[in-house]
Amino acid sequence: NKNITLDLNNHNLIGNGSDGAVFVEGGNVTLTGEGLVHGTLGADKYSMSVWAKDSHVVINDGLFTNETDGSERGTDLIYASGNAVIEINGGVFEAATPQWTLNVKDADYAAGKANIIVKGGSFKGFDPANAQTGAETNFVALGYQSVKEGDYYVVKPL
């Protein structure tokens, strides 16, 4: 239940498995500055970069990556559950399995409890305006658009 701003300051945050490199439960965390946030594949076959549970996470900058063993299980790069909201204003997102770049726990999303709101950033091989992580989902905020530029979808104001 704390408010924390974490300046990546060109450092690497590397975490293992389902807890991810950054796991926030019940707090408010802002990630800013250049740096790497990387999820390595754990024994549980998960490799999350950021997991927000019952919290609010703001991502302003950074490079977010993860790895996979080739299966789709647990390869969510950025994941929200419970009453979590993740707000993405910038950064570069390169998931090992692009389909799972952004994901919200299905039951929490359907109940209107958890969400990801994208107002900026570059997403390799993943269109945040047309996510296919269950039901078709548009994570892009009103007044913004997702534009394909090479291998990336870039979110910017209309």
Q: What is the pTM of this model?
A: 0.94
Q: What pLDDT is recorded for position 77?
A: 95
Taking the C-alpha atoms of residue 120 and residue 110, their distance in angstroms, rounded to an integer, is 24
Q: What pLDDT is recorded for position 127?
A: 97
SS3 69: coil
Q: What pLDDT is recorded for position 65?
A: 97
* Cβ atoms < 10 Å from Cβ of 146: 20
Partners of residue 40 on adjacent β-strands: 16
Contact call for residues 127 and 148 (beta carbons, < 8 A): yes
Q: Write the DSSP assignment of 88-154 as a string of letters.
A: E-S-EEE-SSGGGSEEE-HHHHHTTS-EEEESSEEEET--TTSB-SSS-B--BPTTEEEEEETTEEE
Taking the C-alpha atoms of residue 42 and residue 23, their distance in angstroms, rounded to an integer, is 14
Q: CA dist 22 to 58, 59, 78, 137, 152, Å? A: 12, 11, 10, 24, 24
Please list the pLDDT of the chain residue by residue as tens digits (158 residues).
Answer: 789 999 999 999 999 888 889 999 998 999 999 999 999 988 888 899 999 999 999 999 999 999 988 776 668 999 999 999 999 999 999 999 999 999 999 889 888 899 999 999 999 999 999 987 766 689 999 999 999 999 999 999 99
What are the phi and psi torsion angles at 72 (to 5°)? -90, -10
Q: What pLDDT is recorded for position 146?
A: 97
Residues in the chain: 158
Q: What pLDDT is recorded for position 69?
A: 83
Contact call for residues 101 and 68 (beta carbons, < 8 A): no
Q: What pLDDT is recorded for position 88?
A: 98
Taking the C-alpha atoms of residue 87 and residue 56, their distance in angstroms, rounded to an integer, is 8
